[in-house]
Structure 1
Amino acid sequence: MSFHSRRGDRTGRVRASLGQLRHPPEFRVPPPFLDTGQAAWVTAVLDDVRTATAATTEEPAADGAQGADASTLLAAATGLWRAQRKLNQRAGDLPAADLRQVRRYLQTGRQALADGGLEIQEHDGDPFDPGQSLEVLAFQDEPGLTREVVLETLRPSVYYRGERIQMGQVVVGRPAPGATHGT
């Protein structure tokens, strides 16, 4: 691409943006919802889904996972995470041999998802920063804290090939008001 064609492209975008100012706000065309990088990522994911769907309609896969859509994978990932969490909370209720076997099954399921590019991230105990990409459902004052910390993950963050496809939901603990003011 030559210098003049890039310059003309930029000039066209500036003119289009300024041209919108001639119209009342309710008639202005909003900027695109996705930038070019995001649009390219969405296109690549949709191409992967089309390819997987075409492969399963032509030759059914033995495990059936090829045609799974994103919501099915998210449900499976979140379900595995919740089962593992519940198992860890009730570990004393099961015989040791059964506990090991169930943990092995869960770990195998999570590893299969990870091998397919799906990563499940829990946030319990992580330091919290307001700029993080997490949905905070509640803040709790905790007397022993010196900074904001994630107390509980209610829904994990899920990433597919490095891109977040599910935002985590958390409860954040913050220092009690008396501790920060020295009273």
Structure 2
Amino acid sequence: MKWTRRLAASLRQRLYPEEFRLPEADFGEEQLDLLEELIQMIQPTLCQADAAQKQDKRQMARFLADLGTGIWRIRKKVEGLKRMPKELKEALFALESTWDSMSQGGVEIVDHVGEVPLGMVPRVVRTEDVPGLEREQVVEALSPTILLRGEVVQVGEVVLGRPAPLVPVPGEEASHG
């Protein structure tokens, strides 16, 4: 081990009270050199394992986003039905059970309709003038925002409605002047 590393390790130990300091390693130079060589040999494998784990997390996040979006779309379609056959009600029970399981597992599916968008979530895809609106708000969700334990795995896409410009009634302007 180089003398600078030893000095740095010794100084780090001095940051702690004496009773919490680690004893200096009782390795010889050859052992330390061998240990460092072994670390250098396995480091690429550790980096590959880390990259694979990150890839697995991305794939899982993508899967959860796709699953959540699919369940959300089914719920949206069913909400519009006036009548529902018994078989469909039973299937919906299973769907709701899946929704609840995902929620308990830390997956949150956010629709955004009726919200006033603040910040970067969701992504506004289109803006429309909507008569009767008093302020800007989400009028349609094209896809939901999906979070896993508070982290966004899919940014929702929405249509933002804004108050339609007032159209003057003919003849009204003349009466004000």
> Normalising to structure 1: TM-score of the pair?
0.56
Matched, 1:92 2:53: no
Instruction: Classify the secondary structure of the residue corresponding to 1:72.
Output: helix
The answer to whether the 8 Å contact 2:141/2:159 transfers is yes
Matched, 1:105 2:94: yes
Counterpart AA for 1:101: E
1:130-159 deviation line (CA, Å, top 9, x unaligned): x34211111110110110011011100000
Rounded to whole Å, the distance in 1 between the matches of 2:105 and 2:117 is 29
Superposed displacement of residue 113, structure 1: 1.0
Rounded to whole Å, the distance in 2 between the matches of 1:143 and 1:127 is 17
Matched, 1:80 2:68: no
Query: Which one has a bigger Cα radius of gyration?
Result: 2
Structure with more relative contact order (C-alpha pairs < 8 Å, separation 6 or more) = 2
Percent identity, aligned pairs only, is 36
Superposed displacement of residue 99, structure 1: 4.0
Matched, 1:128 2:117: yes
1:74-107 deviation line (CA, Å, top 9, x unaligned): 1111101111111112x22532x33432321111
The answer to whether the 8 Å contact 2:133/2:164 transfers is yes
Matched, 1:141 2:132: no
Structure 2 alignment gaps of length 5 or more: 1-48, 168-172
Superposed displacement of residue 175, structure 1: 0.4
CA RMSD, Structure 1 to Structure 2 (Å): 2.7
Instruction: Classify the secondary structure of the residue corresponding to 2:82.
Output: helix
Rounded to whole Å, the distance in 2 between the matches of 1:162 and 1:172 is 24
Matched, 1:162 2:158: no
The answer to whether the 8 Å contact 2:121/2:145 transfers is no
Instruction: Report the counterpart of residue 6 of structure 2 in structure 1.
Output: none
Report matched runs for 1:1-183 at 5 Å: 50=53, 69-89=60-80, 91-95=81-85, 97-129=86-118, 131-178=119-166
Instruction: Report the counterpart of residue 56 of structure 1 in structure 2.
Output: none
Instruction: Classify the secondary structure of the residue corresponding to 1:71.
Output: helix
Superposed displacement of residue 70, structure 1: 1.7
> Normalising to structure 2: TM-score of the pair?
0.58
Structure 1 alignment gaps of length 5 or more: 1-45, 54-67
Superposed displacement of residue 173, structure 1: 0.7
Rounded to whole Å, the distance in 2 between the matches of 1:92 and 1:146 is 30
1:7-65 deviation line (CA, Å, top 9, x unaligned): xxxxxxxxxxxxxxxxxxxxxxxxxxxxxxxxxxxxxxx97x94xx7xxxxxxxxxxxx
